Amino acid sequence: MFVHSVYFWLKPELTTEQRAEFAYDIQTLRDIETVLVCAIGTPVPNDRPVIDSSYDYGLILLFANQEDEEAYLVHPLHRAFADKWRVNFTAKIYDCEE
């Protein structure tokens, strides 16, 4: 199992409409064939100091293996999402393998 975790910090100047559009567009990543599980969400408010909840959206994707994740990265839906939005966010990516 290969886990691809992405945390997005959207630019503060994005409008409410742009944020809604981002939330809609990120859902398209679910449709990529090699994705086994897709979870998209926003941080849960908490006051535990070990939890970073400063991000705007989290994306967790599970793949059968790293090759499937690599196919996802070059898929037209992923490329379209990244091309459209990359100037509007900062991201941190964490990958791990079971």
Domains located in the chain, CATH noted: 2-61+85-97 (3.30.70.100)
Does the pTM surpass 0.85? The reply is yes
How many whole angstroms separate alpha carbon 95 and alpha carbon 40? Answer: 16
CB 82 within 8 A of CB 29: no
What does the pLDDT look like over 38-95, one tens digit per residue?
A: 999 999 999 899 999 999 999 999 999 999 999 999 999 999 999 999 999 999 999 9
Its sign, for the CA torsion 58, 19, 38, 35, is negative
Rounded to whole angstroms, the Cα distance separating 88 from 25 reads 13
| Angstrom distances, CA of residue 15 to CA of 2, 12, 21, 22, 86 | 34, 8, 10, 11, 16
